């Protein structure tokens, strides 16, 4: 796959394309669906961050408000209290890229000031459009995620992705976000409540390249994997790795996961297959 440089805050960049890149999940929340309450002290945060880095994560995605179905919203002040201390601690200890998982513009601004390189917005800039202005002003990488929550989706999943994300991209462009800062996320599980909805999106994921941006996917431990495997959230690493391989073969570039090691191994096999295929076809990476 052709290499692209993803432009990030603080003068950093990440090469996307030739090899799968892994974003490790670090939820500093009491109520996330699979790891709530596990990483709420600085010692626990740093131990988990160290494990994620050692296993191969190049980005750590830090979130302070659960996004699971039926989650309870927290105040901006509480979200910031949770995430800012975590970002500062991780950035001081590890040379790793940091992503802030938030839809709030002020939280995003403070997070980048504290050391974050990427803003990951699960509402696709459509809840607080000012978050795009933060990305433009700071040069942060921007993950724009599709969601079906709070809206009526079009019947065709790819048409709906294009409809929603085109609006998000217009918001980003109007704010002055450069195209090289943007990665798109199709939002597995976010308002896609059934196995069929998620599998339909997975089958057709390659069509999303028509939007012209690298793709990040976050299937990790999602409910549809549990339904298919009969596993509880903490036991869905193998199922997640299977989806990672499928989506890597469809051309996705970044993988947001809780269980880094198994996904890194699985993606290494997928990358080797892609390299072998390109060599046999006489194409360049």
Give the chain's domains with CATH numbers: 4-281 (3.20.20.20)
Is 222 noted as a catalytic residue in this protein? yes
- Give me the pLDDT at residue 85, please: 93
- Give me the pLDDT at residue 30, please: 76
Find the Cα–Cα–Cα–Cα dihedral 274, 225, 256, 182, rounded to 10°.
80
In terms of Cα–Cα distance, which of 17, 4, 23 is closest to 252?
17
Rounded CA separation 162/242 (Å): 26
Is 264 noted as a catalytic residue in this protein? no
The secondary element (H helix, E strand) that includes residue 88 is helix 76-93
Q: Which of 82, 221, 248, 256 is catalytic?
A: 256
Rounded CA separation 229/235 (Å): 10
Rounded CA separation 263/246 (Å): 12
CA angle 280, 282, 285 (to 5 degrees): 100
Tens digits of pLDDT across the chain (285 residues): 789 999 999 999 999 999 999 999 999 987 545 544 567 788 999 999 999 999 999 999 999 997 766 657 789 999 999 999 999 999 999 999 999 999 999 999 999 999 999 999 999 999 999 999 999 999 999 999 999 998 999 999 999 999 999 999 999 999 999 999 999 999 999 999 899 999 999 999 999 999 999 999 999 999 999 999 999 999 999 999 999 999 999 999 999 999 999 999 999 999 999 999 999 988 655
In terms of Cα–Cα distance, which of 107, 95, 10 is closest to 54?
95
Rounded CA separation 230/66 (Å): 23
Q: Which of 82, 104, 109, 222 is catalytic?
A: 222
């Amino acid at each position: 796959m052709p290499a692209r440089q993803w432009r990030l805050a603080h003068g950093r960049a990440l090469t996307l394309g030739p090899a799968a890149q892994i974003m490790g999940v670090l939820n500093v929340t009491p109520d996330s669906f699979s790891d709530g309450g596990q990483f709420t002290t600085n010692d626990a945060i740093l131990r988990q961050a160290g494990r994620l880095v050692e296993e191969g994560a190049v980005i750590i995605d830090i979130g302070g408000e659960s996004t699971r179905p039926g989650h309870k919203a927290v105040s901006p002040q509480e979200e910031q209290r949770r995430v800012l201390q975590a970002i500062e601690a991780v950035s001081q200890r590890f040379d790793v890229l940091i992503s802030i998982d938030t839809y709030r513009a002020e939280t995003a601004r403070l997070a980048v000031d504290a050391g974050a390189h990427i803003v990951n917005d699960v509402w696709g800039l459509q809840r607080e459009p000012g978050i795009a202005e933060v990305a433009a002003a700071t040069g942060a990488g921007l993950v724009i995620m599709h969601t079906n929550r709070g809206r009526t989706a079009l019947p065709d999943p790819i048409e709906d992705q294009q409809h929603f994300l085109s609006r998000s991209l217009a918001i980003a462009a109007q704010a002055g976000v450069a195209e090289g800062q943007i990665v798109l996320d199709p939002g597995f599980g976010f308002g896609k409540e059934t196995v069929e909805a998620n599998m339909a999106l997975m089958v057709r994921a390659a069509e999303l390249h028509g939007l012209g941006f690298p793709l990040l996917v976050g299937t990790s431990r999602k409910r549809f994997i549990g339904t298919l495997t009969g596993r509880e959230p903490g036991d869905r690493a193998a199922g997640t790795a299977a989806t990672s391989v499928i989506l890597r073969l469809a051309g996705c570039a970044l993988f947001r996961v809780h269980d880094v090691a198994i996904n890194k191994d699985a993606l290494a096999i997928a990358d080797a297959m892609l390299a072998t295929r390109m060599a046999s076809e006489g194409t360049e990476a």
